[in-house]
Amino acid sequence: MMDFATILQVLDSTVRLAAPLLLACLAGLFSERAGIFDIGLEGKMLMAAFFSAATAAVTGSVWLGLAAGIAASMVLAGVHGLASITFRGNQLISGVAINFLAAGLTVVIAQDWFAQGGRTPSLLGGARFEAITLPLADTVRPVPILGPIYHDLISGHTIPVYFAFSMVPLTWWLLYRTRFGLRLRAVGESPEALDTAGVSVVATRYAAVAICGVLCGIAGAYLATALQAGFTKDMTAGRGYIALAALIFAKWRSWHALWATLLFGLLQAIALRYQNLQIGGVPLPVQLMDALPYILTVVILAGFVGRAIPPRAGGEPYVKER
């Protein structure tokens, strides 16, 4: 049923679908490792998708678009930080508010600016990220097995995809091999220890939330300027929530986040390619494939496959003296 070329195509699709999930998942990882729960990933991505597409459409430059997307996402991250760090509000409610704000605001602004019913004009040429061909891709193509893998699967993606995958080792290095990473993890487990050591809890948490904003911004810009050519209403379509599920599935670890998002991406890619999958004569409905990421997350949360323990101080605003 599946030949080598088909497997490559499905994996290629997996990479494209996993990249925004991976970026959002790592964004959530930074934030939640620092003790700030963030269910506003979806809203930040959506806002970034809109502002990147709008700026790219007006200026014709995808890089300015990317910058605007990141800036918009960071503004929302700042709001979340202000609500949950400075004013010690409920982090879940602040996240929900951000999602609603982004869903409504993007359409209203888009309608006001472009009058195309809450979408941006289609992006052309330099206003989009083009697929890049890695060096030697065409030369090594005739090599059996490895050639097609390099040419079709590894080469031919857009810059944000390569950035997303390179963020995985970078995140690991930052969290486990730098002083900043140690402090960031400490502030999520035991902020009072960090405070005792004389490090600012507030500054560390804001830094984490800001990194989260940058990564969500890139994820949103990727959706609107690389995968698609322009913004449409609600175009993130729940990817921020799947990224949250992936984060739990990955038990808040960077390499696990890569595998979790690739798995979720693969499930989506298979569901898109084979709408009525037959396994051993039993038809698997496409709805099951769509629901599988969530089912797997529930299984993990229920403790069947090891325990998923969130950062201990997660969701708790830090108060200096009790």
Binding mask 244-283 for another protein (x = CB under 8 A): ------------------------xx--xx-x--------
Whole-number Å distance between alpha carbons of 232 and 117 = 9
Burial class (CB in 10 A: 0-12, 13-18, 19+), 251: middle
**Which helix (H) or strand (E) covers residue 221, if one does?**
helix 201-222
Beta carbons within 8 Å of 191's beta carbon, 6+ residues apart: 35, 201, 313, 318
**Residue 284: phi, psi to the nearest 5?**
-100, 115
Interface residue with another protein among 125, 287, 319, 321 (CB under 8 A) is 287
Nearest Cα neighbor of 263 from 11, 55, 40, 58 is 11
Residues 92-131 that bind another protein (CB under 8 A): 111, 116-119, 122
Nearest Cα neighbor of 73 from 90, 51, 101, 53 is 51
Stretch that binds another protein, among 56-64, 173-181, 196-204, 232-240 (CB under 8 A): 232-240
Beta bridge partners of 60: none
Q: Which is nearer to another protein, 254 or 268 (CB)?
A: 268
First to last CA, the chain: 64
Interface residue with another protein among 58, 286, 301, 308 (CB under 8 A) is 286
Nearest Cα neighbor of 27 from 280, 217, 231, 195 is 217
**Residue 157: phi, psi to the nearest 5?**
-105, 175
How far apart are CB 102 and another protein at their closest, in Å?
A: 15
Interface residue with another protein among 234, 266, 315, 316 (CB under 8 A) is 234
Binding flag, residue 46, another protein (CB under 8 A): no
Residues 297-316 that bind another protein (CB under 8 A): none
C-beta of residue 167 within 8 angstroms of C-beta of residue 28: no
Stretch that binds another protein, among 31-39, 194-202, 235-243, 249-257 (CB under 8 A): 235-243
- Per rule CB under 8 A, count of chain residues that contact another protein: 30
Binding mask 59-88 for another protein (x = CB under 8 A): ------------------------------
Binding flag, residue 13, another protein (CB under 8 A): yes
Stretch that binds another protein, among 67-75, 80-88, 231-239, 303-311 (CB under 8 A): 231-239
How far apart are CB 258 and another protein at their closest, in Å?
A: 20
How far apart are CB 229 and another protein at their closest, in Å?
A: 5
What are the angstrom distances between the C-alpha of 200 and each of 35, 204, 226?
Answer: 14, 6, 38
Interface residues toward another protein, by CB under 8 A: 6, 9, 13, 16-17, 111, 116-119, 122, 223, 227-230, 232-235, 237-238, 268-269, 272-273, 275, 286-287, 290
